[in-house]
Structure 1
Amino acid sequence: MDFTLTSCGKINWGLWLLGKRKDHYHEIFTPIQKISLCDLIRIKPSRELRVETTADIPQEENLVYKGLKLFEEITGLKPLFEVFIEKKIPIGGGLGGGSSNLATVLNFVNNYFGNPLNREELLNLLASVSSDAPSFLCNGVAIATGRGEKIECLNLPRFRGIEVTLFVPNGISSPTGKIYSKTHPSMFNPKEKVDLLREKIKKLSPEEFFQIAENPLGGIFLDLHPTVKEDIDFLQKVCYKKFIVSGSGSSFYTVGSLKGDCLKALDKLKGSYKIISLVAL
């Protein structure tokens, strides 16, 4: 029997750094929400494990393959499946496509085998392969802390269905490790600030929280890609709207649809970006 799974990308409602850890990862605080930009995954039992995509990703480098091999190592069960991923989420755009694929497939496979891993064990497996993968098991807003692997799922219905306009630069990928390597202690925030943010997101509307959102990783990305920074500056002047980089880049977004002169201004950018109207899930 064939199964079809939907694996959706994400945006970050800002990202705050708290410091650098002894294991060289950074301590972060970031609210994450899935969006209606999704890969399609077809999976069926097979005589051997095979993972393929419409993108040029070698099987051994695919997070799904790595996760399934680890699942086998932990449970002793052989996940003999043929997995085909039709990629719609841009790679290297800060939208979590690979992590979403990993979480979606591993959650399915765990259910298929009768849940040999409890939720905590599954989350730990996902986190060991990709820090932000656990957030994709949340419905609604996921508050990610630690290096991104610790999650608190919030039920915030007012965040669902919010319109988002996403800009994905053509031909620009943003390696997460490179961006984090350029952080500076001046970018770090006190714990008291993120504790306050945790309470604010529970009370504010999405539009209100977006206005206070920050992302120093986005600033680093824009310093490395000044043409994208110029385009964001242009959009903010024409549209009278805030735009923010998602995660470590390369994508950026604004809340709401674009209208009037702002919509006309997109003609200048259409050759350089995929511009996608989405909703938060």
Structure 2
Amino acid sequence: MEWRTFYAPAKVNLCLHVEARRADGYHELCMIMQKVSLADTLDICVEEGHGIELICGQVPLAPGEENIAVRAARLLLAAQNLTRKVTIRLTKKIPIAAGLGGGSSDAATVLLALNDWLPHPVSKEQLAELALKLGADVPFFLQNDTVWARGIGERFSVVHVDADYCLLLVNPGVPVATAAVYGGLTPEDFSTCAVVDRIAGLEALCGYLHNDLERVALQVQPVIAAVKNVVTAHGAQGVLMSGSGATVFGLFAAESDAVRAAESIRQEHDWWCEVVYVA
């Protein structure tokens, strides 16, 4: 029995513009997505037999609901026309339903791990198709770079961010349902952004910070506004809600300033805080 260890990084949306609602219910997006150093750990074992088992006491599931990492393993095995027993031991570090893409990253990591491990790997294009079947954010986690994501989040182009910074993530401990946030959008919330291939400097990057989901998310969880104000007050050069929330991130040029801010916020509020770096 062989176990291998893999890491599934979180992401932030440095900008998120909702351009339009599509006839199929999805939305056209224009956003910058970036991986950060915070990561879940997946220990995976593949052996002869059948069945997929997830070991994780940190992710509550409704009756009949299946974890997205298990669905990813099932899809990949079917694509390779294989039967194997797969055991996934998942240790969560990324907050759940927090706008950081934890579940999507877990699923993408399973796809990448098994595709490399098993004897009949599918192409990158096929892997991307499988990822999109699992969720709109999953294809991003197959990418190696900071990217512009367009369409529903499945079309990518690299953006070079020439800036030195770290990020302070702050989550107030309240979940936000992504579907509820998108469902509350109106055409007045929609916007777009010019896609560039390079952003030079932290000040320029801060100029891109924008999230069309914030209005609805703040209605669902008003505490997000308080988090943004607190992170700003502790010296962040730019502050934004990531994804559909409720996590807020602040950009800091100096790691020491971010660490001090995290320590102060932990003392002042019962909020989860983590200083992270571009992955």
Report TM bin, short chain. Answer: 0.7 to 0.9
Deviations 1:163-182 (A, max 9, x none): 10110112x01110000001
Q: Which stretch of the first structure deviates more once superposed, 109-118 or 36-45?
A: 109-118
Structure 2 equivalent of residue 226 of structure 1 = 222
Matched, 1:111 2:116: yes
| Equivalent position of 1:158 in the other structure | 162
Q: Which of 206, 210, 217 is residue 214 of structure 1 equivalent to?
A: 210
Partner letter of residue 158 of structure 1?
Answer: D
Structure 2 match to 1:52: 55
CA positional deviation for 1:152:
2.7
Q: Quick check: 1:138–1:153 contact (8 Å CA) kept in 2? A: no
- Residue 88 of structure 2 is matched in structure 1 by 83
**1:226-264 deviation digits (Å, cap 9, x = unpaired):** 23313422443453643100000010011114749x839
In structure 1, the gaps of 5 or more residues are none
Distance 2:155 2:246 in 1: 24
Tell me the TM-score normalised to structure 1 length.
Answer: 0.87
Q: Distance in 1 between matches of 2:249 and 2:97?
A: 15
| Residue pairs, 1:1-281, within 5 angstroms | 1-46=2-47, 47=49, 48-58=51-61, 60-154=65-159, 156=160, 158=162, 162-170=165-173, 172-189=174-191, 193-194=192-193, 196=194, 198-199=195-196, 202-237=198-233, 239=235, 241-256=237-252, 257=255, 259=257, 263=261, 266-267=264-265, 270-281=268-279
User: Distance between the aligned counterparts of 1:125 and 1:234, measured in 2?
Assistant: 40
CA distance in 2, matches of 1:210, 1:179: 24
CA–CA distance in structure 2, aligned partners of residues 50 and 11 of structure 1: 29
- Taking a change above 3 Å as real, the CA distance of residues 80 and 264 of structure 1, as seen in their structure-2 partners, is closer
Tell me the alpha carbon deviations over residues 14-64 of structure 1, each in whole angstroms, 9 at most, x when there is no partner: 100110001000100111111110111101123332122231344852111
* Contact 2:265 2:271 survives alignment (8 Å): no
The alpha-carbon distance between structure 1 residues 205 and 241, as it changes in their structure 2 partners (threshold 3 A), is closer
Moved over 6 A (4+): none
Give the partner amino acid of 1:166: L
Change in Cα spacing, 1:26 to 1:258, as seen in structure 2 (3 Å) is farther
- The answer for unaligned runs of 5 or more in structure 2 is none
Identity in percent: 24
Amino acid at match of 1:216: D
| Bigger share in helix | 1
2:176–2:220 CA contact under 8 A, matched in 1: no
Partner SS, residue 198 of structure 2: helix
How many residues are paired up?
271
Q: CA RMSD in A?
A: 2.4
Of stretches 58-67 and 265-274 in structure 1, the one that deviates more from structure 2 is 265-274
